[in-house]
Amino acid sequence: MTAIMADLWEHSEKLLQQEMQLALSELDVRLDKSKTVLRRAAISGGLMHAAYLSTLATLVLILSEFLRPWLAAFLVAAGASAAAYVFVQLGKKAADEAKQPSQPTDRFRAPGQTAHS
């Protein structure tokens, strides 16, 4: 009986070690995938930022044909700032809503139970 328990202990220990190695290798794979995704996102973000700035410069040049250059630059900057402000406010609103606990709906209440009971 002691030999069986010793065998069981050894196999259990070996199995646990193998499971831990498997879990660590899975985490390594996930970490590598996450790094790749983050690198691509950073590169994409940089390229999008460059495209955005180029678009703003193009708008300034187009408006400069009809307005004084400083006024064209000011109007484009003001428009971009206003758009950024709107997006920041929308983001704050979405973050605040995400923090609020959701209210239970009627389908989750017991029959005869009201919202305040």
Instruction: Take residue 45 and report the two structure tokens written for it.
Output: 């973000």
> DSSP class of residue 108?
G
User: 103 pLDDT exceeds 70?
Assistant: no
| Cβ(56)–Cβ(80) below 8 Å | yes
Strand, coil or helix: 9 = helix
Residue 113 is predicted with a pLDDT of: 61
Phi first, then psi: give them for residue 65, nearest 5 degrees: -70, -25
**Residue range 36-77, pLDDT digits in tens:** 999 999 999 999 999 999 999 999 999 999 999 999 999 999
Q: How far is CA 108 from CA 40, 102, 117, in A?
A: 42, 12, 13
Residue 107 is predicted with a pLDDT of: 57
Residue 61 is predicted with a pLDDT of: 97
